[in-house]
Structure 1
């Protein structure tokens, strides 16, 4: 499991909380929901944040993408890597305050 979280957010979590599970199951206002993806807005202490949750996909989706000569999207890593590249190029993008994945 990989998890990187802004120290201010980590400090705002309730004590003895499994950080990964908190972000997977936190409640908030849903802005977008698709098959394996969810974007929701919530509060964590004084912080107003948006969480993008990506639960991966099954082998059927992977094979379908390969058949179409597309790279399968199996995690949110492409999104946080893309945000870093755009920020380095001088474009304004939302700041990534946390990222993580497990089961890879």
Structure 2
């Protein structure tokens, strides 16, 4: 498991909460929901945040993307890496306050 949170955001989590589980189970205003992906808006202490939750995909989705000669998206990593690249290029992007992954995707090898 990998989880990196902004210290101010982590300080606002309930003391006994598992950080990863809190973000998986938190409730908020849903802005987009497609298959295993969900983007929702929530409040955590003084923070107004958008959470992008991606629960991976199955082999069927992987084969479909390979058939289309596209790289399958198996986690939200592509989004936070993309935000970092755009920021480095000088573009204004939303600040990433946290990122994490849990489990493994054998088809991502």
Band the TM-score falls in, shorter-chain normalisation: over 0.9
Give the secondary structure class of the aligned counterpart of 2:41.
strand
Cα shift readout 1:24-56 (whole Å, capped 9, x = no counterpart): 010000011110110000000111111000111
Q: What 5-or-longer segments of structure 1 have no aligned partner?
A: none
Match of 2:67 in 1: 67
Please tell me the root mean square deviation across aligned C-alpha atoms, in Å: 0.5
Match of 2:107 in 1: none
Cα distance in structure 1, aligned partners of 2:48 and 2:20: 18
Matched, 1:16 2:19: no
Moved over 6 A (4+): none
Match of 1:28 in 2: 28
Shift of the alpha carbon at 1:18? 0.4
Shift of the alpha carbon at 1:81? 0.3
Match of 1:6 in 2: 6
Cα distance in structure 2, aligned partners of 1:32 and 1:3: 23
Instruction: Give me the TM-score of the superposition, normalised by structure 1.
Output: 0.98
